[in-house]
Structure formats: structure tokens, C-alpha cells
Amino acid sequence: MHLWKKLFGTGSLVMLGMMMPALAYAQGSLHTKKILAYEPIPEKTLAQDQRKLNADYDSTIKYAVNCTIYALSHHILSVTINVLSTYKINACDPDLFRATTAASIKAQLNTYQSIDRIIPIGPHIQLMDRNTSTVSNPYMSIGLMNYSKIASAHIGVKDIFTNLSTWRKWHSKVTVYNPIKMAESVNYVWQPGSTVYTLTSDQGVEYVMTHFQPATLDLQVKEIEETASTLAQRLNLPAGWRYSVKTLNKIMSIRRQEELGYTTLRVFDENGNVYIAVDEPIE
């Protein structure tokens, strides 16, 4: 209980870092297991696989894999969201992900805090060239995996007056194409020449994809890029929204420090991909 309070504080909602496989990036390809029909694997074998993955895990590189779960707590006039992730804590394996279901995660968390909904998002492949975001919260163990809180959000009474559309959508459990302000620390860098995948909202806000969720992790790098480049064909974008593929002509970075009160603006599409608002238009 003491660790839980230190992690989340009394009355905050937990967001569980959904377990994702860590990929080793070698010789231009991503190597990991296919995410197919799950068959239970002995816990001893899972632990051995996890130790092997952890030995090769590098959270900073492009195409590294992280895992995230959003846990939502609905109140009369507010929604609280906390995000826990394996980023920088340990690698993730698809078998471990399936061995710990959303229902079992919710049951564990409900012993400390009332959780209404667990949203598994991922496995995610990060698309920035360098990710050196800090993780300052202590980790907690769920099954064979460790997670740390990396972000949080609260949609409350003030949003009724300042952002009614977002408030209504989150209360109606509409999570896609519904921008949300997150308290988090990020340090992302994209190099000139990098390809980026963007969403532009009907309000003209531009977002860049930071984490891509493929149908399977058994993909070559080229296939990841091809899939992301043709994603517009598979998106049911709201009126006025558009998806674009761009090549950077200069370095782009997004930096926020939660301790100083800075926030990010995040949005998600129906395929589980995650985007962050950019500081200036991408040319």
C-alpha cells in the first residue's frame, strides 16, 4: 500500500503499462515472436525468456518496443487516467502480455483503487530517432513484469467550461481522435531526412506519430514504414482531419518536463497508434 500511494497518490487512477515485446534491431530488421493465438506457457519458461529480452533491451533507439495500458476511473463529473509503462524499466514479451489479461490487471488494481476500464494499447514500436525521456516514479511489479507511471490526465469540471467536446467524449468512453492533455516528461528527437506520420485535426493542430501499433511484430523495418505510409487507407478520420506522410528537412525535437508543470497533447487513432502535438508545423 505504501508503494502504491507513492506511485499514484490516494485517489488517483492507475494506468497500467501494457506489456509489449522488446525488439532487438539488428541488420535492418526487427526480430521478435509473432503475436498469434496465445497458448499458455509455463511461468518458468516465461521468466527465462524475460531475462533474455532484458539483456538486449535499449529503450532509447528507434523501433524499440514499449507497452502501455490506460486505466480509467469515471466519476460523476470527471475522468482520471493514469499510464503505466514498461518503458526504460524492462523489456516486454508478447507471451507475458497475454499471460496477464486486462481482467486480471483490473482485479489487482481494484484492491487499491476503483478502476472502471482498462484499455490495452500496443505492442508499440516507437518511431522517433531517439527517446531519452526520463522516468522518475518507482516501479511496481505485475506478474513477471515491472511498470512505472509515465503519464496522467484528469478531465474534470473545468473542462466542461473550457473543452466541453473533449469532456463529453471521454465521459462517453470515446477515446479515438479525442485529444487529451497529459502530464508527462518527454524528450523525443527526429533527425533530418526522417519520415514522419502526422495527423492534423479539424482545428489545425498537427500531431506526429510517436508509437506505432502493428498487427504483428514479425515485420521488417521496410514493412513497418510501408504500413505506416499507407495507414490513411485504414483510418476512419473525423470530418476535417487528415493523415500525411512527410520527410523532415531539419531536426525536430519535443521536450517537456512534468516537474516544471509542462504538459503534452496526445491523440489516438482506432488502430492504437499514438500521436503527440508538435511545437511548430512540420514543413
Using an 8 Å Cβ cutoff, are 179 and 166 in contact?
yes
Listed as ranges, residues in the chain with pLDDT below 70 are 1-56, 94, 98, 112, 122, 143, 156-157, 159-164, 166-174, 215-219
3-state secondary structure of 167: helix
Which pLDDT belongs to residue 187? 95
Which pLDDT belongs to residue 204? 95
With respect to residue 130, please indicate whether it lies within any of the assigned structural domains: yes
Which pLDDT belongs to residue 30? 34
Q: Which amino acid is at 161?
A: F
How far apart, in whole angstroms, are the C-alpha atoms of residue 153 and residue 215? 28
Q: Tens digits of per-residue pLDDT, 86-142?
A: 888 888 776 777 677 888 888 877 776 788 888 777 678 899 999 999 988 888 777
Which pLDDT belongs to residue 247? 96
| Joined grid coordinates for residue 197 | 506520420
With respect to residue 282, please indicate whether it lies within any of the assigned structural domains: no
Query: Taking the model in full, what pTM does it have?
Result: 0.75
With respect to residue 100, please indicate whether it lies within any of the assigned structural domains: yes
Tally of domains within the chain: 1
Which pLDDT belongs to residue 52? 59
Which pLDDT belongs to residue 55? 63
With respect to residue 67, please indicate whether it lies within any of the assigned structural domains: yes
Q: Tens digits of per-residue pLDDT, 183-205?
A: 999 999 999 999 999 999 999 99
With respect to residue 34, please indicate whether it lies within any of the assigned structural domains: yes
How far apart, in whole angstroms, are the C-alpha atoms of residue 266 and residue 251? 21
Which pLDDT belongs to residue 39? 39
Identify the domain containing residue 100 by its residue range.
Answer: 2-277
